[in-house]
Amino acid sequence: MIKAVRGTRDLLPPETALWNFVESAVRDVFRAYNFQEIRTPIFESTELFARGVGEETDIVAKEMYTWEDPQQRYVQMRESYIEASNALNEGRTPKLVPLNLLAGTQSLTLRPENTAGIVRAYIEHKLGDRGLNKLYCIGPMFRRERPQKGRYRQFYQIDAEVIGPPSAGSDSPARDAELLEMLATLLDRLGIANWNLELNSVGCPNDRAAFNDALRKALDPVKDKMCSDCRRRAVTNPLRVFDCKVPADQPIIETLPRISQFLDEPCRKHFDAVQQILRAVGVEFQINDRLVRGLDYYTRTAFEFTHGALGAQNAILGGGRYDGLSEALGGPPAPGIGFAIGEDRLVMSLQESASAAGALRTPHVYVAPLGTGMNAEAAILARELRRHDLVVDLGDENFRLKKSFETATKSGAKYILIVGENEVKAEAFALKNLATGEQVSVPRAELARKIQG
C-alpha cells in the first residue's frame, strides 16, 4: 500500500472544518484592516531565497526542496529569440543573450516561506505606484526539516505583509503596532486564550554589524563546547546562534551580548514608539532580547506569538520588519513588516477551544426516505431545508428504518426526519430528536423553524 510521504499528511474531515473556520476568521479580520489577497507561485527561482532569506540560514543551507529545471532555460531562450527577431524586424539592435541561457538549467525551489515571493511580486508589478500595500496569502510551504509535533515538510502558512514606498509611511512604528494589534484581535477572535507576545528590536544593518563582531568575540573561546550547528554559525552568521534549541547550549547563550546594547538612537526611538502604541491599545507583550527570528532580512521590530499547548516548539506565528529586502532583490526602497502564521500549529492550539467545537458543524438533520419512490421526495425536502442554511444529510429509500437511525446517529445529526408516503400525503413529517428521543409531527412549512429552534 502506498502511503503519504513522511512529513506530509492528509487533512481529513472533521478536522478540515477547523481549517475552514480559521481561514474564514482570518479573511474577516484581515478585511477589517484593509488587507487584500495575493497569490504567488508555489515555486520560485532559488536565487530569490538565497538573496532574500540569506544563504547562511538553515532554510537555504539545509531545508529547501531545490532542483535544476532545463525546461525553464528553454522558455527563456525562446523568449529571447522572439525578442531578437522582433528587434531586427523593427530595425532595432537586439539585446545580447547571456551565455547562461544557451546551456545548462535554472535552479528552482519550492517556496520555504512567502515574504520573499510577495516582495518579488511587489517589485515585478510595480505595486509601489499604488502607495501602501496591505497583502496576505494563504497556502502551502515546503521545508526539508525533521518532522515533529506541529511541523511538517509540506505545511501551511498565512502570510500578511505591509509594504510600500517610504513616502507612504511604510516605515512608521504605527504600521508595526497596527499589525501586532490585528494579530491579537485575530487570536482572540479564534478563541485562543493565554497567548503571549514576545517583542524585540534587531536594529538596522549597522547595529547588527557591531553586534555580530561582539558575538564572534564572545563565542570564540566557547564555541567548541557548543553543538555542531552553533560552531558553524559562530563563524558564518553568529546571530543565528540565538536560534539554537539544544538545552546544553543555553547557559552559554545566556552569557552572550544582547542586540539591545547596540541599537542606535533612531532604532531605539522606533522600538519605543511601537511599545507605546501597543500599551495605548491594550495589547500586552514581553520584551525578549534573545529573539532574533530565523531569517536574514529582518530589521528593527521582531516578534513571536507563543502558546503553551504546543510544547517546546510553542510559536504560533512570528514576523518582523524588513526595510532593506526590496533593495536586496533589486527593487526600489520599500520598507515593510509582515508575519507568517503556521496554520498547522494554529489549528493544533485551537482544537480544545469552544470556538473550535462550534466550527465542527455536524448535520442539523438526517432525512430518511422510507419506501419506493421516496428518494425524490426526500431530495426535494432536503433542498428546501438547505435554503434555510441548515446542514442536511440524506439517506436512501433502500435503508430499513433501523439502518437509517444508525446512520443518522453516526453522522452526528441532531434530528432524523422520516419521509414516507403517508407523511408526503399529509404534508407533515415525523421529526425525532436523537439526543432526547422526543418525536413530533411537524407541518412541512414549519420544519425549518423547528429544526433551527
Which triple of cell numbers denotes residue 212?
Answer: 555580530
Tens digit of pLDDT for each residue in 126-175? Answer: 999 999 999 999 999 998 877 666 678 899 999 999 999 999 999 999 99
Cis peptide before 14 (omega within 30 of 0): yes
Strands 286-287, 439-443: parallel, antiparallel or unpaired by DSSP?
Answer: unpaired
Which triple of cell numbers denotes residue 148?
Answer: 515533529
How many CA atoms lie within 13 Å of 11's alpha carbon, on the beta-carbon side? 15
Residue 252, by phi and psi: left (phi above 0), alpha (psi -120 to 50) or beta? Answer: alpha
pLDDT of residue 67: 85
Work out the mean pLDDT of the chain and round it to a whole number. 85
pLDDT of residue 134: 97
Query: Which residues, listed in sequence order, are joined to residue 196 by a DSSP beta bridge?
Result: 306
Angle between helices 265-281 and 173-190 (to 10 degrees): 40
Query: Does residue 339 carry a pLDDT above 70?
Result: yes
Tens digit of pLDDT for each residue in 389-444? Answer: 899 999 998 899 899 999 999 888 999 999 999 998 999 999 999 999 999 999 99
Per-residue pLDDT band at 309 (split at 50, 70, 90): low
pLDDT of residue 104: 61
Can you tell me the mean pLDDT for 177-185? Answer: 95
Calpha distance 223→40 (Å, rounded)? 40
Q: Which ranges constitute the DSSP H helices of 36-172?
A: 46-49, 58, 70-89, 115-124
Per-residue pLDDT band at 313 (split at 50, 70, 90): low
pLDDT of residue 267: 92
- Domains belonging to the chain, first-starting first, are 15-39+112-204+264-354 (3.30.930.10), 362-452 (3.40.50.800)
Tens digit of pLDDT for each residue in 24-47? Answer: 999 999 999 999 999 999 999 888
How many CA atoms lie within 13 Å of 55's alpha carbon, on the beta-carbon side? 4
Supply the DSSP symbol for 151: B
Tens digit of pLDDT for each residue in 47-88? Answer: 888 876 665 555 666 688 888 887 655 556 666 667 777 777
Query: Does residue 300 carry a pLDDT above 70?
Result: yes
Tens digit of pLDDT for each residue in 104-128? Answer: 678 899 999 899 999 999 999 999 9
Strands 106-110, 43-45: parallel, antiparallel or unpaired by DSSP?
Answer: antiparallel
pLDDT of residue 52: 61
pLDDT of residue 294: 57
pLDDT of residue 101: 52
Tens digit of pLDDT for each residue in 198-239? Answer: 999 988 888 888 888 888 888 888 888 888 888 888 888 887
pTM as predicted: 0.78
Tens digit of pLDDT for each residue in 6-19? Answer: 888 898 888 888 89
